[in-house]
Amino acid sequence: MTTNRGRKHVIRHRMTSTGESYVVAAKNLKAMKDMGATAEAVRTQRWRPADSLDVPCPCGGTCEPGEKCDRCHAVHRHVARAPGSLTDVETWMDKYDCMGCASSYTLTVVLPGRPWGIAETIVQGGSAEPVVRARVFPGVVHPMMRPETPAED
Ligand SMILES: [Zn+2]
Ligand SMILES: [Zn+2]
């Protein structure tokens, strides 16, 4: 497969430039990739809402425009983003607050390539079905998960 060959090429390239073994080079490359994804995930979650709707949303423009409020006819503003699923790491939940009253709502968005964690398939016991379990990147706050606590069934 092309992707696999590409990955091997990257690993070999690192081996030549660092003198590391294949396993070490692969591990370090993965750690770098995870770190990059972690920083990206923290950036995706941590931003301050815009003061006005005249400027682009600080979330990076990956949100839907806020809806008009039924109660006060002001516009809802994107104010927060958090992981929106327990297993799908590219699913986020956007929170919108009305700029004129206390109305608010949430919207689920999928951001391909911007995961909030890593999904792992874990096989529990010999005959058990594999389960998908997501691990949140350090620094990302998951509203449905407690940090540093392994989820128990
Ligand atoms: Zn936004
Ligand atoms: Zn309102």
Task: Say what the pLDDT of residue 18 is.
Answer: 92
Distance from the alpha carbon of residue 71 to the mean position of ligand 2, in angstroms: 5
Task: Note residues around ion ligand 1 (Cβ under 5 angstroms).
Answer: 57, 59, 63, 78
pLDDT in tens, 5-17: 788 999 999 999 9
Which of 66, 79, 91, 76 is CA-nearest to residue 142? 91
pLDDT in tens, 16-31: 999 999 999 999 988 8
Name the closest ligand to CA 102: 2
Distance from the alpha carbon of residue 74 to the mean position of ligand 2, in angstroms: 5
- Is residue 3 very low, low, confident or very high in pLDDT (cuts 50, 70, 90)? low
Distance from the alpha carbon of residue 37 to the mean position of ligand 1, in angstroms: 19
Report CA dihedral (80, 85, 88, 92) to the nearest 10 degrees. Answer: -10
Tell me how far apart the alpha carbons of residues 93 and 30 are, in angstroms, rounded to a whole number: 27
